[in-house]
């Protein structure tokens, strides 16, 4: 069911993206992007369900709770006539999962950094579409509490991504509410993986390499991160609530991995302007 | 801007085939009598590393095993009855590293030592060690009254630091030779076995070889890679060494004997080791039973398999007469050898 919804959303995105580019007008740069000193910082906490499979550790799917902490920074740049924004996301998560019979337990942790450059279009004053490339680096582990010589799986990967975002601003009660949808998809990457039956003793104690750095692409295993958020202004602050869905999959060296997570997120957002030349601004204010 | 439009169009068309890509999942079996049996057979079929050797030595045919034991299943059988069928199938692998663990029993194959003379008596050995022996990192050691050093290593579950090993060989430096007794040592960490063996070489040598499976086929293996023994950074033993073995030397202890056979001035005495020349991995069945099996085969420096045990250089068994006199025949033979 989840995959069907995802496929419909992806299909809609792929269908509209050419038209979005076609409708774009030179004078339609959103007002909030005119000033490249504008910054948006968001800190988010997520909690939800994780389904994890790693056939190096077990053929069974483990399920449990995942906790996530995310820090997002967005700012405009002067590139392409002030149309390029940069999004910087640093995130970490921890999960405790159990096998279907709850005899096996796994602990997993991951740290990731995403950097994305978006080209900005204004479809209407309220609707903005962003599309662009990005890169990400992820590192972490999955530890199975009852395995012997294959107790853990190290995770290390880097990807080049394609990212799309839609921002819609709603006006209620003289306040601006922001609805946002973002989808990030790795299109090519490298990841670490032991070979099919290779032990970590061979890799790290003996230093035996055997196809441990693997090329990844979406045609061997499809991955995507989706964030749907709603920003609510409350007494000068901005509260963010939303949904973060992640499908992370790999199929290398005859080993299969997937991390499917559905998280509820809550956080706060800060919008502000960066004053680069404090003395200049002060002198301008004094003249007025 | 027209250029960007084209880029967006190309990207859209390029990623349309992704809609056809499905989720990455494993075809797991159901938690039923048939499902659990099928999962057990299939995990071993795809991951167990000694099918070629077991076929050559024992005539094992894994497909025939499936057919034979599948007929013994019944949908109404209890967990204990299913466990018994699975345990009997696993016994046919004749591998001490293969275990199936449930909440009520552990399937095992211990014939590698249970069907052979023990060649070790801890009550007799205690007379040699006394009560005032030295103990570091789990290793017991002392100087026997004929100035022969005696080291007893009962397990490789402990990590041996360079300081531990240097302390042992510094203390025994005045001895004419040293006995390293690994009888009844059922293994532990390969890194510990390697660390102890590296105290007996002054140059980098090949202690053995290891490889791993690269696919699901019974013969899909990587090229064997050498396990190099590099000289220990602390005190290294330069005189004669005798390693004592029996049938209960298994797994990492078996590898230790393999490493020592590659070192200079080393003589292995006692009985053939029990084997266990495959690094074990873990997995599990749909009903939660834990499975352990050999995954990475190891070979000695001449590429001989070590799964079936390692022959000693001098074969000696403990005699009933000596045991009646509280004499350890194998220790006495080693002392005589070192005094020559």
Q: What contacts B264, CB < 8 A, 6 or more positions away? A: B200, B201, B202
Residue B11: inside a domain, yes or no? no
Q: Domain residue spans in chain A?
A: 2-270
Chain B hits for A206, Cβ within 8 Å: 210, 225, 227-228
pLDDT tens, B146-200? 999 999 999 999 999 999 999 999 999 999 999 999 999 999 999 999 999 999 9
- Give the end of a domain, one of B89, B114, B139: B114
Please check whether residues B65 and B183 belong to one and the same domain: no
Give pLDDT, residue A14: 43
* Per-state percent for chain B, helix, strand, coil, to nearest 5: 35, 20, 45
Give pLDDT, residue A78: 87
Residue B71: inside a domain, yes or no? yes
How close is the nearest chain B Cα to the Cα of A46, in Å?
A: 24
Please tell me the distance from the alpha carbon of residue B191 to that of residue B252, in angstroms, as a whole number. 9
Please tell me the distance from the alpha carbon of residue B223 to that of residue B44, in angstroms, as a whole number. 21
Contact A149 B295 (CB under 8 A): yes
Contact A249 B23 (CB under 8 A): yes
Q: Residue B99: closest CA among chain A residues belongs to which residue?
A: A148
Please check whether residues B246 and B303 belong to one and the same domain: yes
Contact A256 B296 (CB under 8 A): no
Q: Residue A211: closest CA among chain B residues belongs to which residue?
A: B214
Residue B136: inside a domain, yes or no? yes
Chain A hits for B28, Cβ within 8 Å: 59-61
**Burial of A181: CB neighbours in 10 Å, binned 0-12, 13-18, 19+:** middle
Residue B9: inside a domain, yes or no? no
Report residue A251 as tokens. 């199929």
Which of A144, A202, A218 shows the shortest C-beta gap to B21?
A218
Which of B28, B288, B295 shows the shortest C-beta gap to A197?
B295
Average pLDDT of chain B, as a whole number: 93
B240-245 and B177-181 strand pairing: parallel
Contact A21 B1 (CB under 8 A): yes
How close is the nearest chain B Cα to the Cα of A216, in Å?
A: 14
Please tell me the distance from the alpha carbon of residue B245 to that of residue B318, in angstroms, as a whole number. 12
Asked if B317 and B117 count as a contact pair (C-beta separation under 8 A), the reply is yes
Place of tokens 């032991």: A194
Length of chain B, in residues = 340
Please tell me the distance from the alpha carbon of residue B310 to that of residue A162, in angstroms, as a whole number. 57
Chain B hits for A7, Cβ within 8 Å: 19
Please check whether residues B177 and B253 belong to one and the same domain: yes
Instruction: Return the number of other C-beta atoms located less than 10 Å from residue A37's C-beta.
Output: 11
Q: DSSP string spanning A132-180? A: EEEEEEEEEEEEETT-SSS-EEEEEEEEEEEEEEEEEEEEETTEEEEEE
Q: Which domain holds residue B235?
A: 122-276+296-339
Please check whether residues B131 and B83 belong to one and the same domain: no
Chain A hits for B11, Cβ within 8 Å: 17, 162
Contact A101 B216 (CB under 8 A): no
Contact A147 B8 (CB under 8 A): no
Please check whether residues B100 and B184 belong to one and the same domain: no
Closest CA to A183 of A168, A169, A162, A167: A162
Interface test with B, best of A15, A197, A224, A259 (most B CBs within 10 A): A197
Report residue B79 as tokens. 């967990």
Contact B26 A53 (CB under 8 A): yes
Instruction: Walk along chain A (288 residues) and give the pLDDT tens digit of each residue.
Output: 444 444 444 444 444 444 333 333 333 344 455 566 778 899 999 999 999 999 999 999 999 999 999 999 999 988 888 889 999 999 999 999 999 999 999 999 999 999 999 999 999 999 999 999 999 999 999 999 999 899 999 999 999 999 999 999 999 888 899 999 999 999 999 999 999 999 999 999 999 999 999 999 988 888 999 999 999 998 888 999 999 999 999 999 999 999 999 999 999 998 877 776 655 555 554 444
Report residue A120 as tokens. 């900005």
CATH for B204: 3.90.226.10
Contact B281 A149 (CB under 8 A): yes
Q: Residue B26: closest CA among chain A residues belongs to which residue?
A: A59
Place of tokens 């973060």: A244
Q: DSSP string spanning A67-101? A: EEEEEEEEEE-SHHHHTEEEEEEEEEEEEEEE-TT
Q: Which CATH superfamily is domain A2-270 in?
A: OPCA outer membrane adhesin/invasin (2.40.128.100)
Which of B25, B39, B279 shows the shortest C-beta gap to A149?
B279
Which of B23, B25, B213 shows the shortest C-beta gap to A197?
B213
- Give the end of a domain, one of B66, B95, B114: B114
How close is the nearest chain B Cα to the Cα of A107, in Å?
A: 16
pLDDT tens, B86-129? 999 999 999 999 999 999 999 999 999 999 999 999 999 999 99
Q: Residue A13: closest CA among chain B residues belongs to which residue?
A: B12
Closest CA to B268 of B258, B277, B276: B258
Please check whether residues B98 and B193 belong to one and the same domain: no
Closest CA to B183 of B294, B279, B316: B316
Alpha helices in chain B (DSSP H): 2-15, 33-47, 51-58, 62-70, 79-91, 111-114, 122-129, 162-171, 190-197, 252-261, 320-324, 329-339
Q: Residue B47: closest CA among chain A residues belongs to which residue?
A: A197
CATH for B38: 3.30.750.44
How close is the nearest chain A Cα to the Cα of B340, in Å?
A: 38
Please tell me the distance from the alpha carbon of residue B165 to that of residue B235, in angstroms, as a whole number. 7
How close is the nearest chain B Cα to the Cα of A164, in Å?
A: 11
Please check whether residues B91 and B126 belong to one and the same domain: no
Of the CA atoms within 13 Å of residue A33, those in its CB half-sphere come to 28
Please tell me the distance from the alpha carbon of residue B205 to that of residue B259, in angstroms, as a whole number. 9
Place of tokens 């049938």: B247
Chain A hits for B24, Cβ within 8 Å: 53, 221, 249-251, 256-258
- Cβ-based contacts under 8 A for chains A and B: 162
Contact A218 B212 (CB under 8 A): no
Place of tokens 């204010």: A285
Cα B72 to Cα A11, B37, B45, B60, distances in angstroms: 51, 11, 19, 19
Place of tokens 């820090």: A71
Contact B31 A15 (CB under 8 A): no
Please check whether residues B216 and B170 belong to one and the same domain: yes
Please check whether residues B212 and B109 belong to one and the same domain: no
ipTM at complex level: 0.89
Report residue B67 as tokens. 């057919």
How close is the nearest chain B Cα to the Cα of A73, in Å?
A: 25
Please tell me the distance from the alpha carbon of residue A29 to that of residue B1, in angstroms, as a whole number. 13
Residue B21: inside a domain, yes or no? no
Asked if A248 and A68 count as a contact pair (C-beta separation under 8 A), the reply is no
| CA R_g for chain B | 25
Arithmetic mean of pLDDT, B2-26: 55
Residue B320: inside a domain, yes or no? yes
Number of domains in chain B: 2
Give pLDDT, residue A235: 82
Cα B75 to Cα A100, A239, B70, distances in angstroms: 21, 56, 11
Instruction: Return the number of other C-beta atoms located less than 10 Å from residue B149's C-beta.
Output: 24
Contact A206 B43 (CB under 8 A): no
Please check whether residues B156 and B263 belong to one and the same domain: yes
Helix and strand counts by DSSP (H, E) for chain A? 4, 11
Helix axes B2-15, A2-23, angle to 10 degrees: 160
How close is the nearest chain B Cα to the Cα of A278, in Å?
A: 36
Asked if B166 and B137 count as a contact pair (C-beta separation under 8 A), the reply is no
Residue B79: inside a domain, yes or no? yes
* Per-state percent for chain A, helix, strand, coil, to nearest 5: 15, 60, 25
Asked if B273 and B267 count as a contact pair (C-beta separation under 8 A), the reply is no
Instruction: Return the number of other C-beta atoms located less than 10 Å from residue A137's C-beta.
Output: 14
Please check whether residues B93 and B172 belong to one and the same domain: no
Residue B4: inside a domain, yes or no? no
Please check whether residues B257 and B326 belong to one and the same domain: yes
How close is the nearest chain B Cα to the Cα of A272, in Å?
A: 30
Q: DSSP string spanning B322-333? A: HHHTT--HHHHH
Q: How confident is the model at residue B301 (pLDDT cuts 50, 70, 90)?
A: very high
The 10 Å CB-count burial string (b at 16+, else e) for B278-306 is bbbbbbbbbbbbbbbbbbbbbbbbeeebb
Q: DSSP string spanning A174-203? A: TEEEEEEEEEEEEEEEEEE---TT--HIII
| DSSP-derived 3-state class of residue A59 | strand
Arithmetic mean of pLDDT, B320-328: 96
Which of A59, A101, A253 shows the shortest C-beta gap to B283?
A59
């Amino acid at each position: 069911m989840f995959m069907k919804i995802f496929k419909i959303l992806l299909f809609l995105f792929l269908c509209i993206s050419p038209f979005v580019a076609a409708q774009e007008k030179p004078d339609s740069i959103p007002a909030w992007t005119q000033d490249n000193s504008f910054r948006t910082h968001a800190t988010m906490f997520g909690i939800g369900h994780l389904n994890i499979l790693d056939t190096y550790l077990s053929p069974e799917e483990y399920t449990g709770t995942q906790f996530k902490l995310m820090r997002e920074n967005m700012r405009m740049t002067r590139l392409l006539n002030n149309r390029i924004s940069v999004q910087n996301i640093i995130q970490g998560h921890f999960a405790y999962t159990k096998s279907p019979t709850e005899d096996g337990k796994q602990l997993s942790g991951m740290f990731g950094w995403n950097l994305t450059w978006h080209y900005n279009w204004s479809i209407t004053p309220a609707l903005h579409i962003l599309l662009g490339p990005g890169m990400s680096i992820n590192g972490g582990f999955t530890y199975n509490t009852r395995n012997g010589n294959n107790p853990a799986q190290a995770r290390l990967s880097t990807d080049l991504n394609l990212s799309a975002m839609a921002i819609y601003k709603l006006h209620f009660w003289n306040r601006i509410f922001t609805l946002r949808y973002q989808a990030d998809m790795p299109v090519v990457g490298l990841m670490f993986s032991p070979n099919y039956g290779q032990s970590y003793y061979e890799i790290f104690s003996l230093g035996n390499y055997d196809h441990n750095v693997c090329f990844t692409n979406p045609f061997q295993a499809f991955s995507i991160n989706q964030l749907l958020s709603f920003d609510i202004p409350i007494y000068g602050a901005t509260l963010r609530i939303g949904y973060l869905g992640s499908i992370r999959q790999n199929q290398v060296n005859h080993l299969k991995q997937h991390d499917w997570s559905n998280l509820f997120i809550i956080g706060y957002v800060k919008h502000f302007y960066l004053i680069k030349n404090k003395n200049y601004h002060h002198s301008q204010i004094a003249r007025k | 801007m027209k250029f960007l439009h084209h880029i967006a169009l190309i990207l859209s068309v390029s990623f349309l085939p992704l809609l056809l890509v499905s989720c990455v999942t494993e075809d797991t079996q159901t938690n039923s009598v048939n499902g659990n049996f099928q999962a057990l057979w299939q995990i071993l079929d795809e991951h167990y590393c000694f099918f070629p050797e077991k076929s050559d030595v024992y005539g094992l045919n894994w497909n025939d095993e499936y057919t034979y034991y599948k007929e013994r299943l019944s949908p109404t059988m209890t967990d204990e009855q299913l466990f018994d069928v699975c345990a009997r199938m696993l016994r046919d692998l004749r591998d001490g590293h293969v275990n199936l663990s449930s909440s009520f029993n552990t399937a095992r194959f211990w014939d590698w030592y249970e069907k052979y003379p023990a060649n070790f008596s801890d009550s007799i050995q205690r007379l040699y060690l006394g009560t005032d022996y030295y103990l570091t990192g789990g290793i017991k050691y002392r100087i026997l009254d004929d100035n022969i050093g005696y080291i007893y290593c009962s397990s490789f579950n402990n990590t041996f630091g360079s300081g531990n090993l240097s302390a042992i060989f510094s203390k025994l430096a005045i001895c004419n030779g040293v006995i390293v007794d690994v009888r009844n040592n059922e293994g532990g960490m390969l890194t510990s076995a390697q660390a102890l063996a590296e105290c007996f070489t002054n140059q980098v040598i090949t202690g053995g070889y290891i490889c791993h499976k690269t696919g699901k086929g019974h013969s899909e293996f990587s090229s064997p890679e050498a396990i190099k023994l590099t000289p220990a950074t602390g005190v290294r033993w330069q005189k004669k060494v005798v390693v004592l073995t029996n049938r209960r030397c298994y797994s990492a202890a078996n590898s230790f004997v393999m490493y020592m056979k590659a070192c200079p001035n080393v003589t292995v005495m006692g009985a053939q080791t029990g084997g266990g020349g495959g690094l074990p991995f873990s997995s599990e069945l749909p009903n939660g039973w834990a499975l352990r099996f050999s995954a990475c085969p190891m070979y000695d420096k001449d590429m001989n398999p070590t799964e079936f045990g390692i022959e000693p250089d001098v074969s000696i068994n403990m005699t009933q007469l000596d045991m009646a006199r509280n004499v350890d025949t194998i220790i006495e033979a080693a002392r005589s050898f070192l005094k020559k």
